[in-house]
Structure 1
Amino acid sequence: MYVMTADQRGSRRRPDAVPGALKALNAAYADDLVLAFDRTAGDEIQALVAESSVVVSAVADLVRRGDWWIGVGVGAVETPVPDNVRAGRGTAFVHARAAVDRAKTQPTGLAVVGDDEPAATRSETTLWLLAGLLMRRSDAGWEAVDAMAGVGRQIDAAARLGITPQAMSRRLRVAGWAEDSRARDLAAWVLEQGEDA
């Protein structure tokens, strides 16, 4: 199992980002979370996730928001699973706490900790590569990527944005759209290997 813990960056100097993040993440992943994202302490949120692909997508969403230190814990969870993530126990929760603390010293602001340290490092590395790609994406790049998610064909997405197909192709290339999809698949696969280790 995976526990995601995210801590808002600079929360003493900035508005509370927790309500917006909870609403967006729980709406996006409502059917995919074992236990929904919830505020656990102060400006921290946490969720219990069973699928590695959901972890990767939620990490990408948090990276895009730019307001979060992100920790992923990989390990066991005590059963029966409680009704709320705040009551959860097990090594995945302990690892998530260590990961979010360590994330504050990492260049991408995210860390993975698990029972199998080499596997956790490999998972962290693939997530760093994805995060690096996403952090460099411009607003125009995000607009192009979002348009593709809504329609699927570049020509239709270009028309939706009121740009030429050639301009759309350039935006997607600069945004790393093709690499994004493959990086997410790879990160999910590597994370899953660590859970099975």
Structure 2
Amino acid sequence: MTVIVLTVDQRSSRSRADLVPRALEVTAEVPLLRPLERTVGDEVQGVLDRPEHLALVLEPLLRDDAWHIGLGAGAVEEPLPAHARAGRGPAYLHARESVERAKNSPWHLRVQGDTADARQLESALWLWAAVLARRTPRGWEVVDLADQGLTHEEIGRRLGISQSAVSQRAQAAGLAEGRRARELVTHLATPLLRVADAGTSRAGMGT
């Protein structure tokens, strides 16, 4: 089985409150193969096998700007244990090395795998992180409502501002660029996971 393992470690954990409960909360609705869970200290780990889930789980972590994020793409030993922290295999080794390298890397994020696809995904994630980092609370307010399916007119009514002001905030927040980045991240994660169809990657999985 080919997966992406996420190993995520809190930054400046000695001077900040424990943010692990929040990380688990904001990613709880993403249907990962193995959901994020605390491993030790301020570190969490999870496993995914669907490319469309990568952007969904990473966006809230990048938004918090409080984590070293390591992604490892590769094989895992089967059957996969019920808990992410109990797994073994090359993907876990890649994730461990990635999270260590993330501590001295742009946007505190690294990706490692056995092919050049890992570097391409990493580049896309750095560019996406740069878009997210420029968003103000007002920008996120507009983006969050837009992601719920509201039109600019509806967002304006909700926030009590003009439709023109909504458009300005959306542009400043990089709403369109962020959506394209999500699509690109999904596209570049696909060859790393070698997904053939909706069911193949779960074949032989231990439960």
TM-score (norm 2): 0.90
What SS class does the counterpart of residue 12 from structure 2 fall into? Answer: coil
Higher RCO (C-alpha 8 Å, min separation 6): 2
Match status 1:49 vs 2:48: yes
Counterpart amino acid of residue 12 in structure 2? G
Cα shift at 1:24 = 1.9
Aligned to 1:192: 190
In 2, Cα distance between equivalents of 1:103 and 1:22: 20
Aligned to 1:109: 108
- Identical aligned residues as a percent: 41
What SS class does the counterpart of residue 107 from structure 2 fall into? Answer: coil
Query: Structure 1's 195 and 151: CA in aligned 2 closer, same or farther, altered over 3 A?
Result: closer
What SS class does the counterpart of residue 181 from structure 2 fall into? Answer: helix
Match status 1:11 vs 2:13: yes
Alignment: residue pair count: 193
Aligned to 2:199: none
Cα shift at 1:191 = 1.8
Q: Deviations over 1:145-181 (max 9, x none)?
A: 0111224311111111111000000000110101111
Q: Which runs of 5+ in 1 are unaligned?
A: none
What SS class does the counterpart of residue 75 from structure 2 fall into? Answer: coil
Q: Which runs of 5+ in 2 are unaligned?
A: 196-207
Match status 1:85 vs 2:87: no
Aligned to 2:66: 67
Aligned to 1:176: 174
Q: Deviations over 1:27-75 (max 9, x none)?
A: x21xx21111100111000101111221122111101011101111100
Higher helix share: 1
Counterpart amino acid of residue 133 in structure 1? V
Q: Deviations over 1:97-141 (max 9, x none)?
A: 11111111112110000111x211111000001011001111110
What SS class does the counterpart of residue 33 from structure 1 fall into? Answer: coil
- Root-mean-square deviation (CA), in Å? 1.3
In 2, Cα distance between equivalents of 1:151 and 1:53: 19
Relative to structure 2, which stretch is displaced further, 137-146 or 17-26? 17-26
Aligned to 2:32: 33
Match status 1:98 vs 2:97: yes
Cα shift at 1:194 = 3.1
